[in-house]
Amino acid sequence: MSSSTRVALVTGANKGIGLAIVRDLCRQFKGDVVLTARDEARGRAAVQQLQAEGLSPRFHQLDIDDLQSIRALRDFLRKEYGGLDVLVNNAGIAFKSRVVNVSSFVSVNSLKKCSPELQQKFRSETITEEELVGLMNKFVEDTKSGVHRKEGWPDTAYGVTKIGVTVLSRIHARKLSEQRGGDKILLNACCPGWVRTDMAGPKAPKSPEEGAETPMYLALLPLDAEGPHGEFVSEKKVVQW
């Protein structure tokens, strides 16, 4: 495989929004598209489903909680492509030209329910990854102790995790801006909306294909685009954090 071939990779892509993003990338991205999934059988079944539709994604196993699995994917990308052009973190939290972290508007709503002190910390332009991890661990401990409300946390574990995803995206984007060299990486967090998936349920108003629209918009930004970068994006528009 020539290293001049561009490559896009989607994590957690065997179903739902991830699968819809892979489908759209196969149709619109000028290069190879890699579908990854934790379960190899389910991942390969998803690839076969797309092949039956006339599309040609590649498959690679990836468990984002398994360091050996992450390293195997890294080595594959280095050998086959010399790097990575587009990464859509649909499963959770792995970079060359575009990174899209799938967060949720729940993160914005949950932030507003935090105490003013916590809001200030999460909105800080100088918060570090270590400080963010400390806050996430504090939420876990405060919840275990039954004092999370008293300590200013909202009553939603899902919402706090999505705050973490959004803030981590902002931190990584800031670091990229500080160390930009030859590769211009644009990194953003986005909300796909309330989508009919196994987790969100059948009553959600959006289909997986509609949920893929904003992640796709960010994944296919022009190569010469200056932004958005370090933003939270919903319905293809930057939302104030």
Structural domains for the chain: 7-105+168-239 (3.40.50.720)
Q: Are 64 and 91 spatial neighbours (Cβ–Cβ below 8 Å)?
A: yes
pTM, entire model = 0.78
158 is catalytic: yes
Residue whose token pair is 């803030």: 167
The pLDDT > 70 percentage for the chain reads 93
Q: Is the C-alpha dihedral spanning 204, 189, 227, 87 positive or negative?
A: negative
Position 178 scores a pLDDT of 84
Catalytic residue, candidates 117, 158, 205, 227: 158
Tell me the per-residue pLDDT of 18-33, one tens digit each, with 9 for 90 and over: 999 999 999 999 999 9
Are the C-beta atoms of 234 and 105 separated by less than 8 Å?
Answer: yes
pLDDT of residue 94: 43
* Whether residue 181 has pLDDT greater than 60: no
* Gap between the Cα atoms of 25 and 13, Å rounded: 12
Q: Which of 124-133, 186-195, 210-219 shows the lowest per-residue confidence on average (mean pLDDT)?
A: 186-195
Does 233 or 104 have the greater pLDDT score?
233
Strands (E), 50-199: 58-61, 86-89, 98-102, 186-191
Per-residue pLDDT tens over the stretch 37-91 = 999 999 999 999 999 999 999 999 999 889 999 999 999 999 999 989 999 988 7
Q: Is 237 helix (H, G, I), strand (E, B) or coil?
A: strand
Q: Is 217 exposed, middle or buried (0-12, 13-18, 19+ CB in 10 A)?
A: middle
pLDDT number for residue 140: 95
Beta pairing class for 232-234 and 86-89: unpaired
Residue 160 buriedness (CB in 10 A; 0-12 / 13-18 / 19+): buried
Does position 198 have pLDDT exceeding 50, yes or no? yes
